[in-house]
C-alpha cells in the first residue's frame, strides 16, 4: 500500500514524464507565450552564458526579447546580431532563432569565448500571433490602429470568413471583364491572361471578404497596423499602408536600433526573414553604386557576398532559392545601406522545385507548391473552391478557395530542427572567419644611445575584412586604432605616430608599423577596435 506522500511523489513523477514527452514531441509551431517560455528556460539553464532583457513592450502588450550569448563580457569581443520575426507570415524565423540559440548554448558553447551573439527572436509578435488565431490570414502589422485607405475611418473593412473555415483565402468570380484565367498545369490556380498569346480574362481574383465600406475594395482597411519590415529608413515607402507616418515610428523599431547603435562590437547582422542574399548573392550594379542614394551593393561587398553565399549553399545544401532583395523600408537593406554592417539574410526555407510526370518544372510558384505538397502528403495545402452567395456579386458565380495561408512560406514543423541545425552550422562558420586583429612578428632592435626600433605587423587573421566597403563609406563604423600607450616622460617617440587610425584591413592581410623610441621602461602596443577584438603587446625597453 502507498501512503499519501508516496502517492503524491509517484503522481508528480508521472506528470513530469508526461510533460517531458509532450515537449520533446513538439509537432507544431510555438506561439508567443510558448516561445517566450522557451527563451526564459534557456536563460535560466545557461545563466552563466546568457543575458535576457526586454527591449520594449509593443502597443499590443508583447515584450520584445533580446538574448545575449557570451562567455564573459560580450562587449569585449566581436559579435553577430541575429534578428528574426521581421515579417508576420514568416513564423519559421522565430523558431529558428530560438533553436539556433539553444544549439549554440548546448553544443557549441566554446564559440562564446571569442564571439558574442545578440539574438532577437521575434520583432513582430503581434503579427506572428495571427497564425495561432481562430481566423488565419496574413497580417504583418503591429497592434496600432491605422487608416490604411486614408478615408478618415479606422479598421472599417476587415476580413470576412465567407465559407466559415477559419481561413481567409481568395474569391474567384466568373466575369468577362476579369484579368485571370485557369492555369493549364493546375486548374485550381488562376493566372493573369496574356493578351500577346490571345488569352482573354474570364475571372476576377479578390481576397475573401465583403466590401464593408462600399468603396470598391476588399479587406483594404482591417486591423492592419504598422509593419516592422516597412518602417525603416532605407527606401522608406512614404504613404504606403503599413509603413507608418514616418520611418522608425514604432517602439520596437526604435528600441532595436538604439540597442544596435550602442553595440560597437557587432560586425555582422543576420536577418531571418523574406529577403535573401545568401543562397543567391546580390550583384554589383555600377549605375546604382554611383547614385547619391546608393541602390546597389558595392563591388567589394558583392564579391564578399558571393564568397559567403557559396559557403551557405554548401553548408545548408539549398538550391532553387527565390530572389528577394527587399521592397523598401525593410530591416535587411537598412542593416547594409544605412548601418554599413556585413548584412546577410535568408528565409531559411522555400518550396523546392518539383517536376511533373513529364519531368518539367513550372514557372508558376503556386503550381509548384501544390506539386510539392502532394509529394509530401500535405493534405491541407489547398482549400477547394466552394460556391457561395455574395452580396456584392448577386448575379455572378462566386467561389471561395485557394492556397492555405502560411503554408507556402513555412515548412512542416518536423523540418524545423534540421533547418535550424544547418543554419547554426553556417553561423558558426561566420564566427570562425570573423575579423580578428592580432599583433604579429614583434621585433625590438637596440640601435644605441638608448634608441630602439620597434616593428610589428597588425594582422587581420580572419578571412572577413574588418569593414565592409559600405561601412568604410558610411564613416559610422569605428576604425582600427593602432596606438602606443603608457608612455612616460622619460620615453620619447622619435619616429612614427603615437596613434594611427586604419580605415580597414582585408581578410588575412596585415599592415606593418615601425617606431623609433628613445628611453627605457615598459610600453604597450594596442591594435584593433570593438568589432575586431583588441590585441596588446607589452615591451620592456632596456
Question: Matching CATH topology for 29-129+235-351+413-432 and 437-541?
Answer: no
**Pair 36, 57: CB distance under 8 Å:** no
Q: Which three cell numbers stand for residue 35?
A: 516561445
User: Under CATH, what is the fold of the domain 29-129+235-351+413-432?
Assistant: Aminopeptidase (3.40.630)
Pick the residue with more confidence: 379 or 367?
A: 367
- Kindly indicate the confidence band of residue 10, based on its pLDDT and cuts at 50, 70 and 90: very low
Stretch 100-117: mean pLDDT? 98
CB neighbours of residue 207 within 10 Å: 18
Bridge-partner residues for 344, per DSSP? 270
pLDDT of 139 reads 77
pLDDT of 9 reads 47
Could you state, in order of their start, the residue ranges of all structural domains in the chain?
Answer: 29-129+235-351+413-432, 147-223+352-407, 437-541
In order, the DSSP letters of 29-78 are: ---HHHHHHHHHHHHHHTTTTEEEEEEEE-TTS-EEEEEEE-SS-GGGS-
DSSP 198: T
pLDDT of 159 reads 81
Lowest mean pLDDT across 156-160, 243-247, 288-292, 382-386:
156-160
Closest CA to 255 of 106, 57, 534, 85: 57
Q: How far apart, in whole angstroms, are the C-alpha atoms of residue 327 and residue 59?
A: 25
Q: How far apart are the first and last CA of the chain?
A: 85
DSSP 82: E
pLDDT of 15 reads 45
Q: Which three cell numbers stand for residue 493?
A: 617617440
- Per cent of the chain over pLDDT 70 is 92
Check pLDDT > 60 for residue 542.
yes
**Pair 499, 373: CB distance under 8 Å:** no
Give the E-state strand segments of 286-330 in sequence order.
none
Check pLDDT > 90 for residue 156.
no
DSSP 484: E
Q: Locate cell 623610441: which residue?
A: 517
pLDDT of 482 reads 98
Check pLDDT > 70 for residue 25.
no
Q: Which three cell numbers stand for residue 285?
A: 550594379
pLDDT of 320 reads 83
**Pair 118, 182: CB distance under 8 Å:** no
- Kindly indicate the confidence band of residue 1, based on its pLDDT and cuts at 50, 70 and 90: very low
Check pLDDT > 50 for residue 213.
yes
Lowest mean pLDDT across 144-153, 393-402, 446-455:
144-153
- Kindly indicate the confidence band of residue 12, based on its pLDDT and cuts at 50, 70 and 90: very low
Alpha-carbon Rg for the chain, nearest whole angstrom, is: 28
pLDDT of 148 reads 62
Tens-place pLDDT, residues 297-341: 999 999 999 999 999 999 999 888 877 788 899 999 999 999 999
User: Under CATH, what is the fold of the domain 437-541?
Assistant: Immunoglobulin-like (2.60.40)
Query: Over the range 381-401, which residues count as b (16 or more CB within 10 Å of their CB) and which as e?
Result: bbbebeeeebebbeeeebbbb
Q: Give the total residue count for the chain.
A: 542
> What average pLDDT does the structure give for the chain?
91
Amino acid at each position: 500500500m502507498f501512503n499519501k506522500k508516496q502517492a503524491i511523489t509517484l503522481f508528480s513523477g508521472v506528470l513530469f514524464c508526461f510533460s517531458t514527452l509532450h515537449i520533446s514531441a513538439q509537432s507544431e509551431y510555438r506561439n508567443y507565450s510558448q516561445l517566450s517560455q522557451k527563451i526564459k528556460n534557456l536563460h535560466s539553464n545557461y545563466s552563466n552564458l546568457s543575458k535576457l532583457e526586454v527591449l520594449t513592450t509593443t502597443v499590443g502588450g508583447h515584450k520584445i526579447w533580446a538574448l545575449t550569448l557570451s562567455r564573459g563580457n560580450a562587449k569585449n569581443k566581436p559579435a553577430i546580431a541575429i534578428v528574426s520575426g521581421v515579417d508576420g507570415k514568416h513564423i519559421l524565423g522565430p523558431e529558428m532563432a530560438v533553436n539556433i540559440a539553444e544549439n549554440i548554448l548546448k553544443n557549441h558553447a566554446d564559440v562564446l569565448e571569442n564571439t558574442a551573439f545578440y539574438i532577437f527572436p521575434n520583432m513582430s509578435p503581434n503579427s506572428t500571433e495571427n497564425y495561432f488565431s481562430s481566423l488565419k490570414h496574413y497580417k504583418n502589422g503591429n497592434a496600432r490602429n491605422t487608416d490604411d485607405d486614408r478615408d478618415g475611418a479606422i479598421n472599417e473593412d476587415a476580413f470576412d470568413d465567407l465559407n466559415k473555415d477559419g481561413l481567409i483565402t481568395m474569391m474567384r468570380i466568373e466575369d468577362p471583364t476579369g484579368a485571370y484565367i485557369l492555369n493549364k498545369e493546375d486548374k485550381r490556380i488562376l493566372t493573369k491572361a496574356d493578351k500577346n498569346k490571345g488569352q482573354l480574362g474570364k475571372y476576377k481574383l479578390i481576397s475573401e471578404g465583403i466590401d464593408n465600406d462600399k468603396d470598391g475594395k476588399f479587406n483594404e482597411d482591417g486591423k492592419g497596423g504598422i509593419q516592422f519590415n516597412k518602417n525603416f529608413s532605407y527606401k522608406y515607402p512614404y504613404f504606403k499602408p503599413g509603413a507608418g507616418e514616418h520611418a522608425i515610428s514604432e517602439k520596437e523599431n526604435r528600441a532595436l536600433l538604439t540597442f544596435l547603435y550602442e553595440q560597437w562590437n557587432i560586425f555582422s547582422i543576420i536577418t531571418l526573414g523574406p529577403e535573401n542574399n545568401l543562397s543567391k548573392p546580390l550583384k554589383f550594379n555600377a549605375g546604382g553604386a554611383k547614385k547619391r542614394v546608393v541602390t546597389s551593393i558595392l563591388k567589394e561587398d558583392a564579391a564578399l557576398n558571393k564568397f559567403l553565399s557559396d559557403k551557405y549553399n554548401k553548408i545548408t545544401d539549398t538550391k532553387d532559392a527565390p530572389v528577394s532583395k527587399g521592397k523598401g523600408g525593410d530591416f535587411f537593406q537598412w542593416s547594409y545601406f544605412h548601418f554599413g554592417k556585413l548584412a546577410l539574410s535568408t528565409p531559411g526555407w522555400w518550396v523546392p522545385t518539383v517536376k511533373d510526370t513529364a519531368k518539367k518544372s513550372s514557372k508558376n510558384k503556386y503550381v509548384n507548391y501544390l506539386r510539392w505538397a502532394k509529394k509530401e502528403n500535405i493534405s491541407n495545402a489547398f482549400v477547394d473552391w466552394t460556391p457561395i452567395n455574395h452580396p456584392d456579386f448577386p448575379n455572378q458565380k462566386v467561389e471561395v478557395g485557394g492556397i492555405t495561408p502560411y503554408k507556402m512560406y513555412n515548412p512542416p514543423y518536423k523540418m524545423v530542427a534540421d533547418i535550424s541545425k544547418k543554419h547554426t552550422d553556417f553561423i558558426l562558420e561566420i564566427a570562425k572567419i570573423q575579423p580578428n586583429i592580432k599583433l604579429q612578428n614583434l621585433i625590438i632592435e637596440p640601435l644605441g644611445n638608448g634608441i630602439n626600433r620597434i616593428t610589428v605587423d597588425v594582422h587581420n587573421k580572419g578571412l572577413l575584412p574588418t569593414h565592409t566597403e559600405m561601412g568604410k563609406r558610411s564613416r559610422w563604423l569605428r576604425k582600427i586604432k593602432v596606438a602606443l600607450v603608457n608612455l612616460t616622460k622619460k620615453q620619447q617617440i622619435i619616429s612614427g605616430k603615437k596613434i594611427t587610425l586604419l580605415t580597414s584591413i582585408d581578410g588575412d592581410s596585415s599592415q606593418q608599423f615601425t617606431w623609433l623610441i628613445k628611453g627605457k621602461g615598459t610600453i604597450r602596443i594596442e591594435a584593433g577596435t570593438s568589432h575586431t577584438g583588441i590585441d596588446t603587446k607589452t615591451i620592456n625597453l632596456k
